[in-house]
Amino acid sequence: MSTAASRKTAPAPAARKSLPGPKAKALIARDERRVSPSYPRGAPLVVERARGCEVWDADGHRFLDFAAGIAVCSTGHAHPRVVRAIQEQAEKFLHISPDFYHEPMIRLAEKLASIAPVEDPVVFLGNSGTEMVEGGLKLARYHTGRTQFIGFFGAFHGRSFGSVSFTASKPKYRHGFFPLLPGVTHVPYPDPRRPIVETPGGDAGLGVIRYLEDVLFKGPLPPEDVAGILIEPIQGEGGYIVPERSFFPALRALCDRHGILLIADEVQSGMGRTGRWWAIEEWGVQPDILLSAKGIASGMPLGAMIASRRVASWTKGTHGNTYGGNPVVCAAALATLEVIEQEGLLKNARIVGAHITSQLRRMMERHPAIGDVRGPGLMIGVEFVRDRATREPDGALTERVVAEAFQRGLILLDCGRSVIRIAPPLTLTQQQADEGLALFEESLIAAGGGR
């Protein structure tokens, strides 16, 4: 049994009302006066401290965390080994910039190269997933000499001008910011439940490939002008959508036929979230460029772009940054990777994730408002619908469930049009999973979605 599976948790809290408490309310009021209103606050949660899968707010209320800071706290909050690595490196030196060399950066690049499904990989380090997307786009243009890209409807790749040009999950991410980066064409994502394009056999994945070849490439977009295809192996913000098995091998073959780079955005799906290091490993496909962030350093700001050496053909000074490869953050990442390996968290994600999925599917039998449960490992989407036959999304119910869960001490985040994502730390135990699932069902009933 993994270390994670053997940990105990506190008893489940009783349902509470009138959250947030007075201290939290006071802090929120101060925040509203001086902090940018653009932040997409999910709940009135003011965190005081956190450990493992548990969070305590400013008034001392305990919460079970099924969101992990948007799939960031892969080894749980404040894992002792990660904290110790940060402290030890901070005592040596905090920063030197990538104009010079240091061992933590080299060791991290070597470690990432050893686990990446990329041919002869080289690593570029930055501060966030968005920054890695920007770097991947620049590298693809530089290497191919081409200018055009393909993205997908429902995608989320970030909010900077280049990355938001590919983001297509919600109108608010783009409203007021046009014109964006030119040369981006969006196509349908292969959603098995709601295929926009499908073959006569009903395969949404092969339908998208056919659309690319027979419609897009024979019409408005010559394939020889396309530098890269940017895609999430499992679409995150778009609704935790898992493509059909046919899709990625066929997409890899299409890219090879036309000399297009396959860029896999594993910012949310990587670092063991699916029970493998990388989600794309499920399909046995190697991308040309792989983008990582979020769970890579257990909450410290870090992103990694891992590219094939043949693709990373840019020269000294063509791309760089100031904080990339920060020694303290690299130390946190190295400790994170060691914890994932040595505490068996890939296996734990598969086992506990399968338990959660099976329990949610039983819950689905009791509650028709649950239209689908999907996703591997601890990257699970629960979709709410008004009617299973029509699959009409019920976004209002989704919002109410998230709000009711907060009142009961369960942290949830939504995504897509009506999906709640379950993406807890990879250290989640089955006991904690059962506690969270009980609170989840209570919240669903309280929100009016129970039978």
pLDDT for residue 3: 45
Q: Which of residues 317, 342, 367 is at a domain's end?
A: 342
- Does residue 218 share a domain with residue 287? yes
How many separate domains does the chain show? 2
List C-alpha distances in Å: 257 to 176, 215, 260. Answer: 38, 16, 8
Choice among 66-80, 198-212, 350-364, 413-427 with the minimum mean pLDDT: 198-212
Range 151-155 average pLDDT: 98
pLDDT band at 8 (very low <50, low <70, confident <90, very high): very low
Query: What is the mean pLDDT of the segment spanning 225-250?
Result: 97
For residue 208, being part of any structural domain is answered with yes
Residue 198 — very low, low, confident or very high, per pLDDT cuts 50/70/90? Answer: confident
* For range 150-163, the mean pLDDT: 98
Domain shared by 211 and 70, yes or no:
no
Query: Are 91 and 25 contained in the same domain?
Result: no
| 217 CB neighbour count, 10 Å cutoff | 18
Pair (215, 68) in one structural domain: no
* Domain match, 89 and 162 both: yes
Residues 329 and 353 grouped into a single domain:
no
Q: How confident is the model at residue 346 (pLDDT cuts 50, 70, 90)?
A: very high
Instruction: Check residue 1 and give its pLDDT.
Output: 42
Kindly state whether residues 67 and 145 are assigned to the same domain.
no
Asked, for residue 15, whether it belongs to a domain, the answer is: yes
Q: Which domain holds residue 173?
A: 81-342
Classify residue 143: in a domain, yes or no.
yes
Domain boundary among 342, 369, 390: 342
pLDDT at 16: 57
Side chain identity at residue 73, one-letter code? C
Same domain assignment for residues 270 and 384: no
Domain end, chosen from 283, 316, 342, is at 342
Looking at the fold, whether 235 and 297 belong to one and the same domain comes out as yes
CATH number at residue 322: 3.40.640.10
Rounded Cα distance, 335 and 297, in Å: 8
Angle (nearest 5°) at CA 312 between 249 and 125: 100
Which residues make beta-bridge pairs with 126?
A: 303
Mean pLDDT over the full length of the chain: 95
Question: At residue 397, does pLDDT exceed 90?
Answer: yes
Is pLDDT of 313 > 70?
yes
Amino acid at 24: A
Distance CA 89, CA 91 (A): 5
Residues 262, 390 share a domain = no
- CA–CA dist 220, 236 (Å, integer): 28
Which amino acid makes up residue 67? A
Q: Is residue 435 part of a domain?
A: yes
| Spatial contact of 201 and 380, defined as CB atoms under 8 Å apart | no
- Rounded CA separation 108/334 (Å): 6
* Angle at 157 (CA atoms; ends 154, 159), nearest 5 degrees: 110
Please tell me whether residues 303 and 380 are part of one structural domain: no
pLDDT tens per residue across span 252-279:
999 999 999 999 999 999 999 999 999 9
- For residue 451, being part of any structural domain is answered with no
Question: How high is the pLDDT of residue 17?
Answer: 59
- Same domain as 237, residue 194: yes
CATH number at residue 50: 3.90.1150.10
